[in-house]
Amino acid sequence: MKAVVFHSLGKISVDEVQTPLSLDDSIIVKVKAAAICATDLRIFKGERSAKENVIMGHEFSGEVVNVGSNVKDFMVGDRVAVYPILADGKCDFCLKGFRNRCVNRKTLGIDVNGGFSEFFQPTPEMVKLGHIMKLPENVSFEEAALLEPISTVVNSLERLNVGLGDNILVIGAGPMGLLHVMLAKYMGVSNIIVSDYVEERLNVARELGANYTINPGQEDFILKVKELSKVFGGINKAILTVGVADVVGQLLDIIQPQGMISLFAGGGKTFISNIDLNKIHYKELVLTASQNATPEQFKKAIQLIASKRFNVGKLITHKFPLEDALNAFNLRSELKALKVLLLP
């Protein structure tokens, strides 16, 4: 079968690899749709490594085509999505429900084979842990390829206790920033302000529910936030969906006392900041972060899509056959696209 394989730093290719063979304790999934994530791009650009010869991809969905003799929970034809974290299920974090923080955590597409391939075979542990989740009939494979990113936004907003009365600032209007807009609106926040340098993306942000947008390339970011704050009383929660360290220092100045700043995005080697800690102290600010999601939040993401309350398909701008994966990575790198799908 064809698969996108990581070989060494900055070196990936679409290869012919062994198709998985039936295992008594696992299943085989025909991958129907897989999405490219910022992490995949970092690997593509050589900014981040992965295990040698691993099949990339951690955002995908598919149909069960083979069920091992010891597996009772699945049938051929089941439509599924994959919670892409391998956890031991027994460490303190797993027992508290935070399998995304498992001390023995492994991630699909980085440490173990992922879904940029024609077929995906979860490890038997993944099947036992319940990390292969069935999809309701009204959730399409393409929508389901976005479940993992949506679940991470659920985690982001839950960690910030986002809800009624909040005024939130989202830094970045890429796919993750836009998902923050969609979900924050759904969760009833008062005002959503989005900042990005790409005007087309800001247009989409407004369409999806952002009350105000800022383009720091065209106007002074801090002045604009201060001006807007006079209208609605200030920003109390800010989320970085792009790994730009300098923004954190600016956010310390513009956020309300007792506000929260969350690092949703990671960054490369330059993601280092020399911030004035007194600003955190004297305003009682919270600097926090979120990464990945719990299985429970992944389930919530399935329910959110099934509710049909918002159109996540709007974020899918391009689709490529699997063999054109490298072109898809290039396109996604140039910021011309939002979510780019590979259709094996």
Residues that bind Zn ion (CB under 5 A): 87-88, 91, 94, 102
Q: Which is nearer to Zn ion, 104 or 258 (CB)?
A: 104
Q: Minimal distance in Å, beta carbon 125 to Zn ion?
A: 11
Q: Minimal distance in Å, beta carbon 101 to Zn ion?
A: 8
Q: Which is nearer to Zn ion, 96 or 336 (CB)?
A: 96
Q: Which is nearer to Zn ion, 89 or 267 (CB)?
A: 89
Q: Which is nearer to Zn ion, 90 or 308 (CB)?
A: 90
Give the whole-angstrom CA distance, residue 264 versus residue 283.
21
Kindly report the CA angle at 209 between 265 and 294, in degrees rounded to 5? 40
Give the whole-angstrom CA distance, residue 329 versus residue 340.
8
Q: Minimal distance in Å, beta carbon 104 to Zn ion?
A: 6
Give the whole-angstrom CA distance, residue 193 versus residue 176.
14
Q: Which is nearer to Zn ion, 96 or 309 (CB)?
A: 96
- Give me the sign of the Cα torsion angle 285, 287, 292, 293: negative
Q: Minimal distance in Å, beta carbon 98 to Zn ion?
A: 8
Axis-axis angle for helices 147-159, 175-186 (nearest 10): 60
Q: Minimal distance in Å, beta carbon 242 to Zn ion?
A: 30
Q: How far is CA 189 from CA 151, 250, 253, in A?
A: 18, 22, 22
Please list the residues that pair with 120 across neighbouring strands.
29
Please list the residues that pair with 2 across neighbouring strands.
16
Q: Minimal distance in Å, beta carbon 124 to Zn ion?
A: 17
Q: Which is nearer to Zn ion, 88 or 118 (CB)?
A: 88
Q: Which is nearer to Zn ion, 87 or 340 (CB)?
A: 87
User: Where does the chain show beta strands of DSSP type E?
Assistant: 2-8, 11-16, 27-35, 54-55, 60-67, 79-82, 85-86, 106-107, 119-120, 132-134, 167-171, 191-195, 212-214, 235-240, 255-263, 286-289, 316-321, 339-343
Q: Minimal distance in Å, beta carbon 296 to Zn ion?
A: 15
How far is C-alpha 216 from the chain's CA centre?
Answer: 24
